[in-house]
Amino acid sequence: MASDRAPEASPPLSDADLDPAAIERFKDAAARTAAKLVRDGMRVGLGTGSTVAYLLTALGERAEELRGVRCVATSPATAAVARELGLTVDELDDVGELDIAIDGADQVDPDGWLVKGGGGAHTREKIVAASARRFVVIVSAEKEVARLGPPVPVEVLRFGVQRTLAALGDTRLRDACASPDGNLIADYAGPVEDPRTLAERLSGTPGVVEHGLFAPEMVSEILIAGAGGVRRRAGGKA
């Protein structure tokens, strides 16, 4: 299914967008903008990664006010930090549908496709995103790309892993990296010509648990922070 949304060109990156210290401030700005969407009583999905770490800090600062919030974490690391900061973390199956999920991304293309899984948690992240009425992505500006490229993370079963990698082609196991559910994380390094076609091929390969391509229709909005401030892009999810 082709997207009927107009691709969104990103403003050109300046040197100020690429400065490593500034990138950390941009992640914080995107995360703090998203944190304002969280209100007491909500059921909230929490992603994984360094941008989400800023989100956890921002939510933790309001832990008293957010005592009625029930969080679902996409990784043990996120769950541990969230609890340390005074947030309530429950199991997804105990919480059910989420009001909002907030997560980072490794790449965002003009059509709103994402590559996720830099932290190897993309399977849980996809389940949590799909369980949320609103899925908000938070990124620093250098994550916007003109077209998606490798690597695309892939979670694979340990059983027959060499056969799975051979079927995928151009795919390598990430050193000493297991998913939160004990499967292996590999990176597909081949071309990403059409993300939907590749997503279907990866999903259709026996042994693949989940890949890190997130379709635009999973995403409600993308908050992109750069030297020019925080910009909001609509996603393809109503």
By CB under 6 A, name the binding residues for ligand 5RP. Answer: 47-51, 103-106, 116-122, 125
Nearer to ligand 5RP, 68 or 203 (CB): 203
Q: Which of 64, 97, 125, 142 is catalytic?
A: 125
**In contact, 172 and 133? CB cutoff 8 Å:** no
One-character DSSP codes across 105-135: -SEE-TT--EE--TTS-HHHHHHHHHTEEEE
Nearer to ligand 5RP, 107 or 205 (CB): 107
200 as an active site residue: the answer is no
**In contact, 61 and 38? CB cutoff 8 Å:** no
Cα–Cα dist 21/81, whole Å: 23
**Nearest Cα residue to 184 out of 166, 162, 203, 201:** 162
Q: Is the Cα torsion angle 155, 234, 46, 176 positive or negative in sign?
A: positive
The CB-nearest residue to ligand 5RP is 118
Nearer to ligand 5RP, 49 or 235 (CB): 49
Nearer to ligand 5RP, 79 or 105 (CB): 105
Q: How far is the CB of 67 from ligand 5RP (least distance, A)?
A: 27
Q: How far is the CB of 145 from ligand 5RP (least distance, A)?
A: 13
When computed from its CA atoms, the radius of gyration of the chain, rounded to whole angstroms, is: 17
Nearer to ligand 5RP, 62 or 116 (CB): 116
Q: How far is the CB of 79 from ligand 5RP (least distance, A)?
A: 14
Q: How far is the CB of 47 from ligand 5RP (least distance, A)?
A: 5
Tell me which residue has tokens 């909001």.
232
Q: How far is the CB of 211 from ligand 5RP (least distance, A)?
A: 12
**In contact, 183 and 157? CB cutoff 8 Å:** yes
Q: 15-23 contacts: CB < 8 A, separation 24 or more?
A: 16/226, 16/227, 17/140, 17/141, 17/142, 17/226, 17/227, 18/142, 22/227, 23/140, 23/142
Annotated active-site positions, please? Answer: 125
